[in-house]
Amino acid sequence: MRQLPLFKFGSRAKSTSLGIALCTMFIVASFSVANGLGSSMDRLSATFESDYQLITKSSPEGIAFFGEQEIAEFRELLAVGVVTNVRILPYDESVMVFSVTDTYSVLPIPLGQSTDTVLKSGLGYSYGAITLVGATTLELDLNGTYSSTIFPSDWLLTSQNVTWALTTETGRYNYAIAGLLDSSDVAMLVERGFSVQSMVGIIEFLESGVDEIRSDMLWVLLPSAFVIAVLAYSFVGAEVSDRRHEIGILKTLGAGRLRVLSYLLGNAVIISSWGGLLGVAFGVVLSYAISTFASTVFTSVFVMRVDEFLVAVAFLATVVAGVLGALLPASKMTISAPVEDLKEVGRST
């Protein structure tokens, strides 16, 4: 009995594999976004050792500045400071710069900076001369590091004098952090136009949103898997149409149904696996490219993170979808009689 012909990776197989690769790339990139958000939330949650409260005052332009007289009754319960967004040179990118005055040791770790220098935490800037461009332009030195369980690691720490100069709001603040406010204190602050938010509560709110995104990943996987199945269906259907006469002859010579089915599904496995591997590679590259670009444009803790398990899920979903899509045309060809295959080709020619 003759062997069934080997798979030929022609133009049809290449174009189908490329289409499958694009679908897999979308799956991997989407998984990376959701997984990165989850990792970011885990990192943010770990920064808060206790339930501190963030106090701000809003204005039509954004966060408003306030003076110490507006919080005089609670001053011993507060750490106050200024946070602002500036351009940093020679890197020519946006970065958050903050200062904090913790006279009454509200924060778990002393953090006040008394000199007009700049400290970093997780940012990769080199030590040396830098220029901060805000409402005014200041030439400073980046010459040390800080560690905090409250403030993000991608912010720069400096003195109050520097942030006041950058904002031209000398003697005023735009945030406060409290650890021991009771309900009456909160009510009084709210009456004065302040917003009091639990920092842990903010993270819990964001985590609930990330959990919803993670649960919705199925709705990313299903449409992509459906497209992969359609591509595999079209490919195997075209292969059956082109080789029906040849397969009919092989059936006549004794090729069993299982052999024919395994051959056709094998074709689907090959194009799905090739497309899946190519798509995984594209997806990983795309994820890291977007993450790198975002980190240079935005001062955000949110990143895209590729997880090996989710990559494996994306690849397996691609192969399974391809096999399921090919099952219908392959089964029709398997159960058809050899005489019908030969007659069908005879009519078409």
Of 96-110, 245-259, 316-330, the range with the lowest mean pLDDT is 245-259
Looking at every residue in the chain, the average pLDDT score rounds to 80
So what's the pLDDT on residue 156?
94
Q: Read off the amino acid at residue 41.
A: M
pLDDT band at 342 (very low <50, low <70, confident <90, very high): low
**Residue 284: which pLDDT band, with cuts at 50, 70 and 90?**
confident
With a CB cutoff of 8 Å and minimum separation 6, the contacts of 17 are: 271, 274, 275, 278
Pairwise pLDDT comparison (93 vs 345), residue with the higher score? 93
pLDDT at 21: 93
Who contacts 29 (Cβ-Cβ below 8 Å, separation ≥6)? 283, 286, 287, 290, 304
Of the candidates 23, 35, 64, the one whose C-alpha atom is nearest the C-alpha of residue 222 is 23
Burial of 280 (0-12, 13-18, 19+ CB in 10 A): buried
E-assigned strands of 192-268? 194-198
Other beta carbons within 10 angstroms of residue 245's beta carbon come to 16
Q: Which two tokens stand for residue 53?
A: 């409260």
- pLDDT tier at 298 (50, 70, 90 boundaries)? very low
Measured between alpha carbons, how far is 246 from 236 in angstroms, rounded to an integer?
15
Helix (H) or strand (E) holding 257: helix 257-297
Q: What's the mean pLDDT in 324-333?
A: 87
Give the tens place of pLDDT for each residue, 129-159. 999 999 999 999 999 998 877 788 889 999 9
Assign 202 to helix, strand or coil. helix
- Has residue 301 got a pLDDT over 50? no
pLDDT given at position 118: 92
Q: What is the pLDDT of residues 36-60, one digit of tens each?
A: 666 655 555 555 445 688 899 988 7
Q: Could you tell me the pTM of the whole model?
A: 0.51
